[in-house]
Structure 1
Amino acid sequence: MSEINKFPLISGYLSLDLVNTELVSRGQRQDLLLSEGDALDWIQVIKGENSFWDDQLILKIKERIGQVLESILEMRTILRIQFESIADGNPIPDEFIAFLEKKIKKSPFTYKLVDQKLIAIPVGEAEDILLSFIAYDFLALIEKNKLTSLKRCSNNDCVLLFIDESGRRKWCSMKICGNRKKVARFQHRKSDDE
Structure 2
Amino acid sequence: MTKKTNIKFPLISNNLPLDLVNTEVVSYGKRHNLLKSKEDLLEWLRLMGKGTPFFNQLTLKKAQDELTTVMVEKILELRSTLRENFEKIADGEEPGEFFITFLEKKIELAPFTYKILDTKLARIPIGNIDDAIISLIAYDGLSLIYTKKINLIKRCANEECVLLFIDNTGRRKWCSMKICGNREKVSRHLKKT
Q: Which runs of 5+ in 2 are unaligned?
A: none
Aligned to 2:30: 28
Q: Does 1:51 align with 2:53?
A: yes
Paired position in structure 2 for 1:169: 172
Aligned-pair CA distance for 1:168: 0.6
Match of 2:7 among 5, 8, 13: 5
Amino acid at match of 2:56: D
What pairs with 1:110-125 in structure 2 (closer than 5 Å)? 110-114=113-117, 117-125=120-128
Question: For residues 133-157 of structure 1, what are the alpha-carbon distances to aligned partners after superposition, in whole Å with 9 as ceiling and x for unaligned?
Answer: 0000001111221111111000000
Deviation readout 1:52-83 (Å, 9 max, x if unpaired): 42333212211232232111111000100000
CA contact (8 A) 1:61 1:68 kept: no
- 1:130, CA displacement in angstroms? 0.5
Map 1:145-184; keep pairs closer than 5 Å: 145-184=148-187
From 128, 134, 147, give the equivalent of 1:131. Answer: 134
CA displacement at 1:49 relative to structure 2: 2.1
Identity of aligned residues (%): 51
What RMSD, in angstroms, separates the aligned Cα atoms of the two structures?
A: 1.5
| Greater percentage in helix | 1
Is the 1:11–1:162 Cα contact (8 Å) retained in structure 2?
yes
TM-score after normalising by structure 1: 0.92
Alignment of 1:79-90 (within 5 A): 79-90=82-93
User: Aligned to 2:50, what secondary structure does the other structure show?
Assistant: helix
Of residues 101, 105, 108, the one that matches 2:111 is 108
Larger CA deviation: 95-104 vs 49-58: 49-58
Provide the rounded CA distance (Å) in 1 between the counterparts of 2:125 and 2:178.
35
Asked if the contact 1:107–1:129 (Cα under 8 Å) also holds between the matched residues in 2, the reply is yes
For 1:102 and 1:25, the matched residues in 2 are separated by 34
After TM superposition, the structure 1 stretch with the greater mean CA deviation from structure 2, 64-73 or 39-48, is 64-73
The aligned counterpart of 2:79 is 76
TM-superposed deviation, 1:117? 4.3
Q: Which moved more, 1:88-97 or 1:48-57?
A: 48-57
